[in-house]
Amino acid sequence: MSEQLVTLSRKDFVSDQEVRWCPGCGDYAILAAVQKVMPEFQVPREKTVFVSGIGCSSRFPYYMNTYGFHTIHGRAPAVATGIKLANPELDVWVATGDGDGLSIGGNHLMHALRRNVDLKILLFNNRIYGLTKGQYSPTSVLGQKTKSTPFGVVDHPMSPVAFALGANARFVARTIDVLTTKHMPDMLRRTHDHKGASFLEIFQNCNVFNDGAFDYFVEKDVAADRQLFLEHGKPMVFGAKRDKGLRLKPGKLELEVVQLGDNGVTEADVLVHDETNLPLAFLLGQLEPPEFPIALGVLYCNPAPTYERMVHDQVNATREKLGAGDLDKLFRAGNTWKVG
Amino acid sequence: MDHVESTTSKVTGKLPTEEIDSVVIRFAGDSGDGMQLTGTQFTQATALQGNDLATFPDFPAEIRAPAGTTFGVSAFQIQFASFDVLTPGDAPDALVAMNPAALRVHLKDLPRGGLLIVNSGAFTPGNLKKAGYETNPIEDGSLDGYRLVSVDISKATLAATQPFGLSQKEALRCKNMWTLGLAFWLYDRDRQSTIDGLRKQFAKRPEIADANIAALNAGHAYGETIELPSGMSRLIVPKAKYEPGLYRNTTGNEATAWGLIAGCQSAGIPMMLGSYPITPASDILHYLSALKHFGVVTFQAEDEIAAICAAIGASFSGSLGVTTTSGPGMALKTEAMGLAVVTELPLVIVDIQRGGPSTGLPTKTEQSDLLQAVVGRNADTPLAVLAAATPGDCFTLAIEAVRIATKYMTPVILLTDGYLANGAEPWRIPEASALPKFPVHLRTEAAGFHPFLRDPDTLGRAWAVPGTPELLHRIGGLEKDYDSGNISYDAANHHKMTKTRAAKIAGIARDIPLQTVHEGEDSGDMLVVSWGSTYGAVLQGVRNARRRGLKVSHAHVRYMSPFPRNLGEVLSRFKKILVPEMNNGQLVKLLRAEYLAPAEGFNKISGQPFRVSEIESKIRETLEA
Ligand code: SF4
């Protein structure tokens, strides 16, 4: 019996497997948010597949009561591409991390985004390798002391959202594991509803190996001044008193923070967010506190035909043109000769 | 060549014709001279004439090596005969050399007295120098021992194509057709299939088709007027005796592609190919990409790893995932093969072996991935391995690979090689309805289900695919509990699962043909054991040795893992075992390890297939030792 018409609840998405993340890990909040929003999508559980690679985040599929595939390090986007190509009807999610998705699996992530395979990709960014017990990752910051960098990281980090945009992703968004009540669920909804590759970076606290990595924009006393919540068509205003805004520096392709009220600056001078504007998304993706707020929400959304759809359209068009494949005809095409 | 024996001279018209059993001809020229096309057209016409044949295309790794250099020489050899042809022939009876470099590279293989056709027009001082000739061999007497036909093919081609208004460069490109025309005349082949092919190929530029056909006809007409060197005549090779049926030519790569499609039809599931371009496997990707109307989904991945991972994902979803590659790609896919083994998903991996290690000899053939295929993964990671013997056998074994993969829920590696991939042979076309059927049963029943529930007979696990209600489950690379499929780090369970995975693969031996000795007695002094593409050369070598009275038999192995269940017993019936391989000794190691058999290796690692004569003399040497 298909579950198409059955109303599902959060509990229906909880698997019977014991969750094995460290107590206090940000992953719990993400799992809870995903399990909370899944019933809203009205997708039968059997049509949902969670795919992951290796790492703490990649344990995710075991905890979802859907179909799931815990693959090998970095390869989840490739496996997920095969799953989606073989059955485009499936709702395919990828759970990955900064090491899995951006280091060993950077190539696959880049190409899944570029091809626009209809995958919902959640990248848990904790700026550390957790499962291998604390080495630095491609998003670890300069100077960060880790097990493999006792004197501090000396390689430059990357921005996951800028990477995704550079790979031609059509949906790029960002949220934080602590924004459990509204923002993270909203972003999960948007990520799901977008047709095509959707990329959601979730800042996730690893309380064991990189505790407080995001405190500089998450702590209560700084959060309001260092978080900008993007909304399509709305001015980019932020701050505890909603008195700060972003605008283009006159004569430059560069953003600057302005104080509303100072020197006659009003909300009308502030940039209005446009989800379909790629250069703007790039600028927003690069903003780093404390000089700028961190940009949260949907940085970019600009749907395009999906890869698996085009692949199957081509298969169907060829069938229509040539008729369904016939082995006898295939073998006999071209030069043949008869003996006896 | 001992089969070039029976000749009956007769005279037709002004030139003598001679009936002969077999001919080996080699076309050699610069990469840009179109020798591969000449060869395939000659092959086509020869097949239509009813001869049996085998071909060996041999081309450089560079797409456009500098013109006129020895490393830019491309060659195509064909043996055709009135009997069962097993190899493209050891040495050519006739060599066509389109330039000095081709002569330099290939003359050493032409026996004294052989027919040598050279394009004198290309023997310019510049080309001679590039090929390392100080004086022109056509003029300095160094070719005296051969039956030399020296023609300025370039000039003759320009003259023949002059009416069609092509540029000099375009016109000169027709010289391979002129050469082909002459070869057609010499060996009495029909031109029509080539003419039809040219008309089709150049439908949009009829003047190019016309020029090529004019060159072809001019070469043929030249034959009529030629003064053949003394003792030469026009050669007639009578039709071979085939089993009745409809035939066509096929190469190993084409046959593999078709076999995969046929296999998936037999299994009743769609195919998804994940592949990354690599020589010499890319043609399979090309063929399958053009066959979308068979419902095949092809995915050119970003790398070898993504190619196999996408195939695994497709298998998880209920398609048959297939990936095609060659040695370096196999190395990259290794980890993912382990995932397919531990998740027990069906998967077909086709490895078109080439010379290695590393990038090695990309366009040359070798059999050096056998150990990699059988044991080359981390941990105890068994899977099934098959090896095709001939281009046509690629079709049969591709179907077999799909059968085993889906029945036993396991990855299967199909080994072919560069020689099979590009070599052609006549293939008896099967009726699709007569192909084996082995429909897959996807699990839909919820009662008692867990993902690692096994068929007690095959030990294959239940295949339940996403979209199936009530069978929600998770699989992955971590060890599973035997009884529930859940993650398990239990020590005894891991032991049991490792043994179970091994037993599943070993059990396939009950489901494959017994090993036969297909030439010679079932026991005796010596058995020659071959596998893969050396089949033809080894069989012919054994036949020749037996004709000379040597007591030797031949067994050819196609199932490499698991081996046929009686293989050890077959080996034990012989005093000596010789294992010729195009590698440094791999099957020989497996046979010794598996059966403590006194097997000795005979290795050729030159990127070239064995010659029949090499096998024959090694048999004699081993027997006498
Ligand atoms: S190591 Fe860090 S990321 Fe991993 S489960 Fe523990 S807290 Fe979470």
Percent of chain A with pLDDT over 70: 98
Q: Which residues of B touch A49 (CB under 8 A)?
A: 466
Contacts 24+ apart (CB under 8 A), B429-432: B429/A331, B429/A332, B429/A336, B429/B245, B429/B246, B429/B247, B429/B248, B430/A331, B431/A328, B432/A326, B432/A327, B432/A328, B432/A331, B432/B262, B432/B265
> Residue B411: in which H helix or E strand, if any?
strand B411-417
Distance CA A196, CA A171 (A): 8
pLDDT at B18: 83
Q: B241 or B457, which is more confident?
A: B457
Q: How far apart, in Å, are the Cα atoms of B227 and each of B14, B118, B143, B235?
A: 10, 15, 17, 15
pLDDT at B61: 75
| Facing residue for A67 by CB, picked from B293, B294, B472 | B472
Whether residue B155 contacts residue B121, with contact meaning beta carbons closer than 8 Å, is answered with: yes
Distance CA B154, CA B171 (A): 9
What domains does chain B contain, in order, with CATH numbers?
2-236 (3.40.920.10), 248-434 (3.40.50.970), 524-624 (3.40.50.920)
Name the nearest CA neighbour of B52 among B20, B85, B22, B26. B85
A22 CB under 6 A from ligand 1? yes
Whole-number Å distance, alpha carbon A21 to ligand 1 midpoint, is 6
Task: For strands B599-603 and B574-581, give the pairing.
Answer: parallel
Q: Which of A88-102, B36-50, B435-449, B578-592 has the lowest mean pLDDT?
A: B36-50
Q: Is the pLDDT of residue A3 over 50?
A: no
Task: For strands B15-19 and B574-581, give the pairing.
Answer: unpaired
Which residue's CA is the closest to the ligand 1 atom numbered 8?
A: A25
Q: What is the pLDDT of residues B294-333, one digit of tens each?
A: 999 999 999 999 999 999 999 999 999 999 999 999 999 9
Judged by CB atoms closer than 8 Å, whether chains meet at A83 and B317 is answered as yes
Q: B201 or B62, which is more confident?
A: B201
Q: What is the pLDDT of residues A134-158, one digit of tens each?
A: 999 999 999 999 999 999 999 999 9
pTM for this structure? 0.91
Q: What is the pLDDT of residues B441-485, one digit of tens each?
A: 999 999 999 999 999 999 999 999 999 999 999 999 999 999 999
pLDDT at B105: 95
Residue B466's Cβ-count burial label (10 Å; 0-12, 13-18, 19+) is buried
Judged by CB atoms closer than 8 Å, whether chains meet at B318 and A90 is answered as no
Residue B492 has, within 13 A of its CA and on its CB side, a CA count of: 1
- Whether ipTM > 0.95 holds is yes
pLDDT at B84: 87
Q: Is the pLDDT of residue B8 over 60?
A: no
Question: Ligand 1 atom closest to Cα of A26?
Answer: 8
Ordered alpha helix ranges (H), B244-326 = 252-267, 282-289, 304-316
Residue position matching structure tokens 């293939």:
B427
Residue position matching structure tokens 């089969």:
B3
Whole-number Å distance, alpha carbon A149 to ligand 1 midpoint, is 19
Percent of chain B with pLDDT over 90: 88
pLDDT classification of B231: cutoffs 50, 70, 90? low
Q: Is the pLDDT of residue B509 over 50?
A: yes
Whether residue B156 contacts residue B196, with contact meaning beta carbons closer than 8 Å, is answered with: no
Judged by CB atoms closer than 8 Å, whether chains meet at B294 and A17 is answered as no
Question: Ligand 1 atom closest to Cα of A55?
Answer: 4
Q: How far is CA B124 from the centre of its chain?
A: 36
Whole-number Å distance, alpha carbon B497 to ligand 1 midpoint, is 29
Mean of pLDDT values over A59-86: 98
pLDDT classification of A329: cutoffs 50, 70, 90? very high
Question: Ligand 1 atom closest to Cα of A134?
Answer: 1
A104 CB under 6 A from ligand 1? no
Q: DSSP assignment, residue A237?
A: E
Name the nearest CA neighbour of B264 among B458, B406, B390, B387. B406
Whole-number Å distance, alpha carbon B258 to ligand 1 midpoint, is 49
Q: Which amino acid does the sequence have at B280?
A: P
Mean of pLDDT values over A99-117: 98
3-state secondary structure of B249: strand
Mean of pLDDT values over B15-25: 85
Question: Could you report how far apart the first and last alpha carbons of chain B are, in Å?
Answer: 25
Q: DSSP assignment, residue A103?
A: I
pLDDT at B5: 31
Mean of pLDDT values over A231-237: 98
pLDDT at A6: 66
Say yes or no: A59 contacts chain B, CB-CB below 8 A. Answer: no
Mutate to test the pocket of ligand 1, among A30, A31, A56 (most ligand atoms within 8 A of CB): A56
Class at the top of the CATH hierarchy for domain A10-234+273-307 = alpha beta
Q: What is the pLDDT of residues B399-434, one digit of tens each?
A: 999 999 999 999 999 999 999 999 989 899 999 999
Whole-number Å distance, alpha carbon A325 to ligand 1 midpoint, is 51
Ordered alpha helix ranges (H), B187-225 = 192-201, 206-225
In whole numbers, what is the pLDDT of chain A averaged over residues? 96
Mean of pLDDT values over B503-510: 98
Query: Nearest 5 degrees, angle CA B125-CA B130-CA B134?
Result: 55
Sheet holding B599-603, edge to edge: B553-557, B524-531, B574-581, B599-603
Q: Is the pLDDT of residue A268 over 90?
A: yes
Which residue's CA is the closest to the ligand 1 atom numbered 3?
A: A206
The encoded tokens of residue A151 equal: 């004197």
Cβ-based neighbour number of residue B361 at 10 Å: 17
Q: Is the pLDDT of residue B102 over 70?
A: yes
Whether residue B589 contacts residue B371, with contact meaning beta carbons closer than 8 Å, is answered with: yes
Say yes or no: A312 contacts chain B, CB-CB below 8 A. Answer: yes
Compute the Cα dihedral for B250, B254, B259, B264 and give only its sign.
negative
The DSSP string of B28-66 is EEEGGG-HHHHHHHHHHHHHHTT-EEEEEEE--SSTTPP
Beta bridge partners of B30: B73
Suggest the residue from B256, B269, B293 to mutate for an interface test with chain A (most A CBs closer than 10 A): B293
CA A1 to chain B, closest CA, distance in angstroms equals 6
| Facing residue for B477 by CB, picked from A72, A80, A314 | A72
Which residue's CA is the closest to the ligand 1 atom numbered 5?
A: A21
Distance CA A59, CA B254 (A): 42
pLDDT at A144: 96
Rg (CA), chain A: 23
The encoded tokens of residue A212 equal: 């407080």
Judged by CB atoms closer than 8 Å, whether chains meet at A108 and B309 is answered as yes
Return residue ranges of chain A for CATH 3.40.50.970.
10-234+273-307
Judged by CB atoms closer than 8 Å, whether chains meet at A82 and B242 is answered as no
Q: What is the pLDDT of residues B531-563, one digit of tens each?
A: 999 999 999 999 999 999 999 999 999 999 999
Distance CA A97, CA A53 (A): 9
Name the nearest CA neighbour of B355 among B344, B345, B369. B369
Residues in CB range of A59: below 8 A, 6 or more apart: A19, A20, A21, A27, A52, A70
Distance CA A296, CA A126 (A): 16
Q: What is the pLDDT of residues A215-230, one digit of tens each?
A: 999 999 999 999 999 9
pLDDT at B14: 55
pLDDT at B238: 87
A56 CB under 6 A from ligand 1? yes
Q: Which residues of A touch B292 (CB under 8 A)?
A: 314-315, 318-319
